[in-house]
Amino acid sequence: MKHVSDSSFEEDVLKSSSPVLVDFWAEWCGPCRQIAPALEELDQSMGDKVTVAKINIDENPNTPNKYGVRGIPTLMVFKDGQVAATKIGALPRSKLIEWVESVV
């Protein structure tokens, strides 16, 4: 799993040759911590199809603002530098995997 920042977002996410699932999260967010194990599992099981990246919205406010993130966790799949899909809120592990597979 990759940790990205406002300064690395363009290089790590927008210029990535493969799809990137970005988790907009914060330390204080309970649902964010709740889905973290499922995201790690997804990163390991689909590592060749999609990169999982996390961006802390408290430490990196510019990127969430740019993409209109209002609630967390917000998950966005980026393909070819564009947002391909967005989910807001914690999803059960099976729904999360199903959603990512349907997008990538």
- Each residue of 5-61: pLDDT tens digit? 999 999 999 999 999 999 999 999 999 999 999 999 999 999 789 999 999 999 999
Q: How far apart are CA 53 and CA 67, in angstroms?
A: 15
Of 13, 20, 32, 50, catalytic: 32
If one counts the domains in the chain, the total is 1
pLDDT over threshold 90, residue 87: yes
pLDDT, position 102: 95
pLDDT over threshold 80, residue 98: yes
Helix (H) or strand (E) holding 43: helix 30-45
Question: Residue 28 — φ and ψ, nearest 5°?
Answer: -80, 0
Of 29, 55, 72, 76, catalytic: 29
Mean pLDDT (whole number) for 59-81 = 97
On whether the CB atoms of residues 51 and 16 are closer than 8 A, the answer is: yes
Q: How far apart are CA 99 and CA 93, in angstroms?
A: 10
Q: How far apart are CA 93 and CA 41, in angstroms?
A: 9
Domain that holds residue 40: 2-103
**Partners of 88 in the beta sheet?**
74
Q: Is 29 an active-site residue?
A: yes
The CATH number linked to 97 is: 3.40.30.10
Q: Collapsing DSSP states into helix, strand and coil, what is residue 20?
A: strand
